[in-house]
Every structure is written in C-alpha cells, then in structure tokens.
Amino acid sequence: MRKSKLAAVLAVIVASLCRVGTVFAADGSPEVDTGTTAWMLTSTGLVLLMVPGLAMFYGGLVRTKNVLGTMMHSFAAMAIVGVLWMVCGYSMSFGSNVLGGWFGWNWDYFLLKGIDESIMDAGIPEYVFAMFQGKFAIITPALIAGAFAERVKFRGYCVFIALWSLLIYNPLCHWVWAEDGFLFQKGAIDFAGGTVIHISAGAAALVAAFYLGPRRGYPKTAMHPNNLVMTLMGAGLLWVGWFGFNAGSSVDSGLVTARALAVTQVAAAAGAVSWMLLEGVLHKKVTTLGFVSGVLAGLVAITPAAGAVQPWGALILGMVASVLCYLAIEMKNKLGYDDTLDVFGIHGVAALWGAIGLTFVLRPGTIDVTVAHQLWVQIEGCLVSLGYAGVMTFILILLIDKTIGFRMSEDEEKAGMDHSLHSERGYGMLNLNS
C-alpha cells in the first residue's frame, strides 16, 4: 500500500515537472508553456482594464458637461490604436531596423499574418506577446488626453492619437525594447515603460498644454471635479491593472515576475502614504484626490524599475515620487499653464525620477557597468524620449490645428464636449458644477 502511494506521489511530481518551464519539441522549436501563457493572457487583460480605469479616473475629474467627451478619449484609443497596432504597429515596434533604425519592420508582422503558428522562446504564442504590447500602445496616447481635457475637438483628437501612435510611440518602443534598438543596445533599463510610455506622454502633454492654451476661464473660474467617487474607482482599477502592466513585462511567470509584482505594490502604497503625509502636514487634511495622485506617482515611478530593484528601493522611489510630483503641480499652478489633469506633473515627473533614480537602488548584479555609466545611459534615454516626443508632438498638433482644427470654438467649449461633440449628456440630472 505504501509503495503504491509513493508511486502515485512520484507520478504527480513528474507530471508537474513536465509542465514547468518551456517545453521544446523534437526539432528544437519551443512549445506552449501553459503556465506562462495563462499569466500573460491574464496580464494582457489587466492592462486593457486600465484603459476604462483611466477613463473613469479622468472622467470624474472634469466638469459634468465634459464627462462623456473625456471618457471617450480613452475608449477611442482602444479602437483606433487597437487597429493600427495590428496593421503595422507591432511590425514598426519589434521588426528589424529600417531607415537607419528610426523604426522597425517585418512583413511577417504586418497584419500579424506571419505569426499564426509562432511560439516564442518564453513558451507563449506570439499572438499573446503582440496583444500584450498592443495594450501599452493603446494607453499611452490616452494618457496624453488628460492634458487638454475639456477643450479639444473629437475629430482632431482621433487624428492626433493615430499619428502619435505611428510616428512617436512605435519608434520609441523600437529604440528601447527591440533587440536592435539603439537605447536597448546601450543598456537602458526600462522594465515596463517609464521611458517609452510615461515620459513620452508627459512630454507630449506639456507641449499640448502650452500650445492649446488654458481652458476658457482658467484659472479664475472654479472648475471642480464632477465625481470623485468615480475617480477613486478608476484609480483602483489602475492600481490592480498595474500588476499586469509591470509583472507581465517579465514575459514569464517565475521569480522576476514575483519581484516585479511585489515592488509595484510597495511603491504604490509608499506613494500614497507620502502624499497623505504631505497634505496632513501642510493642509491639515487628507484629500481623496491627493491620495490617488500619490498612488499614481508611486506606480509610475516603479514602472521602469520593477524588475531591477528590491522592495526597499521601491519604497524610496514611491515616496520621493510623491514629493516631486506634488512640487511639480504646485509649480504648474504658479506658472499658470493648464495641464488639466496633471499628466506631466504626475506621469512625466514620476517617470523621470523612476528612470534616473533606479540607478541608485539597483538590485545587486543587475548591471555589469559602473553606476555612473548606467546613470548617464538612463539620463540619455530620458532626454531622447523628452526631446523626440516633445518636438514631434508640437509638429503634429500644429499640422492638425492648421488643417482640420484641434481646439473647440468658444461656444462649443462653453456648451461642453458632451453636447457639442456627441449630442449626449453624461448624467440624467443637471449638475450645478456644469
């Protein structure tokens, strides 16, 4: 009886071991690792969930008359960039260098027609990797929309995010994450998108805010959020989705994945605590808006560093990020430019800190160069993202504004995006904060 039980246990162990790690066929080609694939499918769904989370976060912060128009910016990105990514975005991002390495190209990736049976070395179908990366491409231009909320034409916005995705996001993604990208070759660390996503979105947001000018009445007219409950729920979805964002970027379901997930939680919590302390000391009250701002600051700061730091490093990155973002928003208020939902102040500033600050809290053995060398590489990556995204965004907005128009007219802005652009109303009852 004991022998039979022992044999059964051994059989279970052997069967389990057969399912662990990447399995290779007789010809040496990889086969599907169901465990890793399951996690990457989950991560893909979590990152996509962040887009409606962002819609709720942004939608609750604007005035009642603009809630639907603002939320549509996020949902439109899901559709427009979702199509573009399938057609050519994946190829431009992860294909081989063309045009001197400005972007990549691989005809097998065009329309995803050549990856129908492709299994990556990590043991996941290439479809899964392509869709996971596609969710990053979707959320990046959606982030930018917070900078010019309440004052842009929907048509102009749609053209903008399409061109921005093709001409700015895809090249940056290729430079940082493709094996032949020049920043990748230099050894730039960007685990989950600090440089590619948040710095570029922050730079674009700052340029857009200055070019378009402030909302009419800003800052003399009070422009209160219409629904902070919705903003809180949106922040919660972003927090949860960020585990897929960061931990999924390991393209694995092992130790690195666990490390990335752990530091993501630590940094988010540290950012929230830091912001609460700031408000408590300076204003004697803690606000819900401050709390979620701290959460986002921590999450953004840990994004480039998630696979490269230990929990104590994440604690430092998250807490310092909140302080820097708080100061950046205070500076915005003094300078008077209207980055409506503080895209640069949160995403841009926190990502810059995370990409540079990670150098000083790296996990032992992460780099084989000096800290000074790595620091310069990180600064170079930040400058490239800031400069390229900033200049190209200015060109795109200028062209769109001079052709089909980008900013709403005075009457349209006064009536609100929901009525003027969509002939709808977000709430059944009129709100005094209209």
pLDDT at 433: 52
Paired strand residues for 280: none
Q: Which residues contact 180 (CB under 8 A, 6 or more apart)?
A: 96, 97, 101, 104
Strand, coil or helix: 79: helix
pTM of the model: 0.92
> % helix / strand / coil in the chain, to the nearest 5?
70, 5, 25
pLDDT at 3: 45
> pLDDT, tens digit, for every residue of 151-187?
999 999 999 999 999 999 999 999 999 999 999 999 9
Q: Which regions in the chain score pLDDT beneath 70? A: 1-28, 429-434
pLDDT at 13: 33
Paired strand residues for 96: 105
Q: Which residues contact 377 (CB under 8 A, 6 or more apart)?
A: 186, 187, 188, 189
> Can you say whether residue 255 is alpha, beta or left, with left for phi > 0 and alpha for psi between -120 and 50 degrees?
alpha
Cα–chain-centroid distance for residue 56?
15
The answer regarding whether domain 34-422 maps to CATH 3.40.50.720 reads no
> pLDDT, tens digit, for every residue of 221-252?
889 999 999 999 999 999 999 999 999 999 99
pLDDT at 76: 98
Strand, coil or helix: 30: strand
Distance CA(54)–CA(376), nearest Å, equals 33
